[in-house]
Amino acid sequence: MKLERPDDRGRFGEFGGRFAPETLIPALDELAEAFERSWSGDRFVGEYQRVLRDYVGRPTPLHEAGRLSERLGVRILLKREDLAHTGAHKINNAIGQVMLARDMGKPRVIAETGAGQHGVATATAAAYFGLKCDVYMGEVDIDRQALNVHRMGMLGARVSPVTSGAGTLKDAVSEAMRDWVRTVETTHYVIGSVVGPHPFPWMVREFQKVIGEEALEQLEGRLPDYVVACVGGGSNAIGIFYPFAGLGPQLIGVEAAGLGIESGQHGASIGAGTPGILHGTRTYLLQDDEGQVLEAHSISAGLDYPGVGPEHAFFAESGIARYESATDTEALAAMELLARTEGIIPALESAHAIAWIIREAEALAGRTVLVNLSGRGDKDVEQLARMTQ
């Protein structure tokens, strides 16, 4: 059964917890208290909902993908997070956390970003609420998601390139954590997914569950057979899964299979990883026999991460959700099919969810599948244009 909240140590079953330097523990305690107080109070929740409605543009539509459904023989409903302000679900969480930072009296926020969507969302929320914003981004991602780097600059955020490791999302998270250890008295770290030490995985899920709650309402009681979402750290997936968990639909998380699971070049932490500690939480991760973390690979920067949120590890372990994967090639094909049949260019991340449906179309024939279309693909167009040249 799904857990309304993790236990006192921040555990979802055997996953989660708080493996962070002592310097950060008091700040994590303060954050947990502030979140708990705010999230159970009308003033904070009322403001959060107002901002999501009037500024972010929620509720996002539930779109019946007619031509795609016809093509695949599967009824496909798209939850259009790509239509949220800034172009992805990441804004739901960024608004909530930046409001908390403001209420805790922290004048500065920091964030990591892979695809740049969370960086843009945090820079946007910081501009909206008048906070200072620094974003850490791996140098490989700065190159492949250049559009979002420019957007963050325009929004007044400073983007710091991270050169350690493979220069991708894992390294950006580590660098943001290091900044936070130094600046914790004046800074809040807006983590972009359901990862990190307690209370982050729980708090980010609470800020993202609006996706599934809206979809439930929009479905007016007609439950789908499947709910599908891509899984990087897992925030868009948990956001749509959580309200549906236990109601009947089969929940499918789609991880990045990169160049293929056998190649070792992928981001399938649940599918091919083992339990361990990464970025402050106990979860599934890609690691060697010595506990050294392996580099992930995915064509999509947002899924290029060797870990996953601890609640997904718990969902996988307890059978609440199932985790599959899609390759780079499959994601590219899915992106093109959605563009041609529906006139929607999805983010490469979100295309992984569509790719799984395409592969399983035969088995899914006649069924209804709700997909979280977590973001739009404008950010990926330049990378793809370069690849096809």
Partner 1 sequence: MSRFRLERLFAEVRSSGRTALLPFMTAGLPSVSTSVDLFVAMADSGADGFEVGIPYSDPMMDGPTIQAANRRALAGGVTVEKGLEVVAAVVERTGKPVIVMTYANPIFRIGAAIFAERCREAGASGVIVADLPLEEAAAIQDPIEATGLGMVLFAAPTSSNARLEAIAAANPVFIYGIADLGVTGERRGSSSHARELAARIRTVTGLPLVMGVGISTPDQARSLAGEADGIIVGSALVRRVLEAPDEQAALDAVRNAVVELAGALR
Ligand X SMILES: Cc1ncc(COP(=O)(O)O)c(C=O)c1O
**Quick count: other Cβ atoms within 10 Å of Cβ 222?**
8
Name the minimum Å distance from CB 240 to ligand X: 10
Name the minimum Å distance from CB 347 to ligand X: 4
Q: Which of 85, 205, 279, 379 is in the footprint of partner 1 by CB under 8 A?
A: 279
CA-nearest of 193, 144, 76 to 348 is 144
Does position 162 interact with partner 1 (CB under 8 A)? The reply is no
192/249 with CB nearer partner 1: 192
25/223 with CB nearer partner 1: 25
Percent helix, percent strand, percent coil in the chain, to nearest 5: 50, 20, 30
CA-nearest of 71, 53, 157 to 111 is 157
Do 309 and 253 contact (CB within 8 A), yes or no? Answer: no
Distance CA 76, CA 199 (A): 34
Does position 161 interact with partner 1 (CB under 8 A)? The reply is no
Return the bridge partners of 314, or none.
none
80/282 with CB nearer partner 1: 282
Q: Which does 19 bind (CB under 5 to 8 A by kind): ligand X, partner 1, none?
A: partner 1
Q: How many residues belong to the site for partner 1 (CB under 8 A)? A: 34
**Binders of partner 1 among 170-199, rule CB under 8 A?**
170, 174, 177-178, 181-185
Does position 280 interact with partner 1 (CB under 8 A)? The reply is yes
Distance CA 165, CA 157 (A): 24
170/376 with CB nearer partner 1: 170
Q: Which residue's structure tokens are 């800074």?
A: 187
Residue 340 CA: distances (Å) to CA of 26, 163, 246, 346: 51, 37, 35, 11
Q: Which does 23 bind (CB under 5 to 8 A by kind): ligand X, partner 1, none?
A: partner 1
Stretch that binds partner 1, among 87-95, 124-132, 152-160, 288-296 (CB under 8 A): 288-296
**Binders of partner 1 among 70-109, rule CB under 8 A?**
none
Do 205 and 239 contact (CB within 8 A), yes or no? Answer: yes
Q: Which does 266 bind (CB under 5 to 8 A by kind): ligand X, partner 1, none?
A: none
Looking at residue 157, the DSSP 8-state letter turns out to be P
Q: Which does 374 bind (CB under 5 to 8 A by kind): partner 1, ligand X, none?
A: ligand X
Q: Which of 278, 313, 334, 337 is in the footprint of partner 1 by CB under 8 A?
A: 278
The residue annotated as part of the active site, out of 69, 81, 112, 360, is: 112
Distance CA 138, CA 162 (A): 4
**Please, what is the Cα angle at 346 between 362 and 169, to 5 degrees?**
110
Question: Treating both helix axes as pointing N-terminal to C-terminal, what angle do 42-51 and 25-39 enclose, rounded to 10 degrees?
Answer: 80
**Quick count: other Cβ atoms within 10 Å of Cβ 114?**
31
Three-class secondary structure of residue 298 per DSSP: coil
Name the minimum Å distance from CB 280 to partner 1: 7
Task: Tell me phi and psi for residue 80, to 5 degrees.
Answer: -85, 70
Residue 370 CA: distances (Å) to CA of 37, 158, 336: 33, 37, 19
Question: Interface with ligand X by CB under 6 A: which residues?
Answer: 88, 114-115, 117-118, 193, 230-237, 302-303, 347, 349-350, 374-375
Name the minimum Å distance from CB 230 to ligand X: 5
Return the bridge partners of 376, or none.
346
Does position 263 interact with partner 1 (CB under 8 A)? The reply is no
The residue annotated as part of the active site, out of 170, 330, 374, 379, is: 374
Q: Which does 22 bind (CB under 5 to 8 A by kind): ligand X, partner 1, none?
A: partner 1
Residue 77: in which H helix or E strand, if any? strand 75-80
Clarify whether 374 is annotated catalytic: yes
The residue annotated as part of the active site, out of 38, 79, 90, 311, is: 90
Q: Which does 287 bind (CB under 5 to 8 A by kind): partner 1, ligand X, none?
A: partner 1
Active-site residues: which are they?
A: 90, 112, 374
Interaction site with partner 1 (CB under 8 A): 9, 17-27, 164-165, 170, 174, 177-178, 181-185, 276-280, 287, 289-293
